């Protein structure tokens, strides 16, 4: 299977957009006092990361080799792809178990926003020919990871991914954005629960109107103060083992509903 190849115009636009930031970093390095070895290492790491982003903004290369190894689904196989950000990426890799014994494929990428996921939706979801896709996205858009983003922008991207999946006969499960808390790290400033609630209302309504299944992680993860339960997270945003243990059966129930 082959991934998407960014068109030349896309590369030019991205380079023009990101180049000033790389130039600023380089000038800062030249005009600031000489950093010690640790600071120089951090600067190199940051510049390397920025360069990788410049070359492959949606991170199409992350799963390219893995996707090529995925065989067509066997007869009767209920393959499901989980598309998402770090919460999906870390599922079964850092914390929790990722559906042991199930033909489920993890295609989460840490830090990603919905426009990045939309670009890689064909190679990382459609090309794998799943029966269903679970989409968990939006928290990084709210946080502004790839620039300012309105709720309408997030909604448009979620709708586009849903339409692409359904056009290819893939059932869609749209997950609520998970709540945040400030027990360990300050998350509510960048990801206020009030905005998450507003987005989740739209996701549920959209799913109801467009033959998708709404997967409600949010409700069962809330404490009596309306924030993420501290025992379910290691940083106020990402689930820990207990968090994934809680949400796995909720996700499985939504997948079963979609596949019926």
| Separation of alpha carbons 255 and 251, rounded Å | 6
The yes-or-no verdict on residue 254 having pLDDT over 70 is yes
Q: Which two tokens stand for residue 177?
A: 């954005």
pLDDT at 222 over 50: yes
Q: Model pTM greater than 0.85?
A: no
Query: Cα-flanking dihedrals φ and ψ of residue 176, to 5°?
Result: -70, 150
Q: Which of 19-28, 52-61, 248-257 has the highest mean pLDDT?
A: 248-257
How far is 223 from 150, CA to CA, in rounded Å?
A: 27
For the chain, which residues make up each domain, given as ranges? 8-55, 68-259
pLDDT, tens only, 57-86: 999 999 999 999 999 999 999 999 999 999
Please choose, from the candidates 217, 184, 220, 181, the residue with its C-alpha nearest in 3D space to the C-alpha of residue 199: 217
Match domain 68-259 to its CATH number in 3.40.50.150, 3.40.50.1110, 3.20.20.80, 3.40.50.2300.
3.40.50.1110
Q: Is the model's pLDDT at 99 over the cut of 70?
A: yes
pLDDT score recorded for residue 201: 98
Query: pLDDT per residue over 171-213, tens digit each?
Result: 999 999 999 998 777 777 899 999 999 999 999 999 999 999 9
> How far apart are the C-alpha atoms of 247 and 250, rounded to whole Å?
5
Average pLDDT over residues 117-130: 98
Backbone torsions φ then ψ of 95, nearest 5 degrees: -135, 155
Helix axes 193-209 and 151-167, enclosed angle (nearest 10): 30
Asked if the model's pLDDT at residue 26 lies above 70, the reply is no
Binning pLDDT at 50, 70 and 90, where does residue 54 land?
confident
pLDDT number for residue 243: 98
């Amino acid at each position: 299977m082959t991934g998407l190849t960014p068109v030349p115009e896309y590369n030019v636009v991205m380079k023009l957009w990101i180049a000033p930031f790389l130039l600023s970093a380089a000038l800062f390095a030249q005009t600031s006092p000489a950093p010690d070895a640790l600071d120089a290492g951090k600067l190199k790491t940051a510049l390397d990361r920025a360069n990788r982003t410049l070359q492959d903004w949606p991170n199409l290369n992350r799963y390219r080799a893995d996707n090529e190894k995925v065989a067509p689904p066997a007869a009767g196989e209920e393959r499901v792809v989980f598309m998402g950000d770090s919460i999906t990426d870390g599922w079964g890799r850092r914390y929790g178990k990722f559906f042991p014994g199930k033909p489920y494929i993890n295609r989460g990428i840490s830090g990603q926003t919905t426009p990045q996921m939309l670009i890689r939706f064909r190679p990382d979801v459609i090309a794998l020919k799943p029966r269903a896709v679970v989409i968990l996205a939006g928290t990084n858009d709210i946080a502004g990871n790839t620039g300012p983003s309105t709720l309408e922008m997030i909604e448009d991207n979620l709708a586009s991914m849903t339409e692409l999946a359904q056009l290819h006969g893939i059932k869609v499960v749209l997950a609520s954005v998970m709540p945040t808390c400030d027990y360990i790290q300050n998350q509510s400033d960048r990801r206020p629960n009030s905005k998450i609630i507003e987005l989740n209302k739209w996701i549920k309504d959209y799913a109801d109107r467009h033959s998708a299944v709404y997967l409600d992680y949010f409700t069962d993860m809330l404490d009596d103060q309306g924030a993420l339960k501290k025992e379910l997270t290691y940083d106020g945003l990402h689930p820990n083992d207990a968090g994934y243990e809680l949400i796995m059966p909720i996700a499985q129930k939504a997948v079963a509903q979609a596949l019926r």
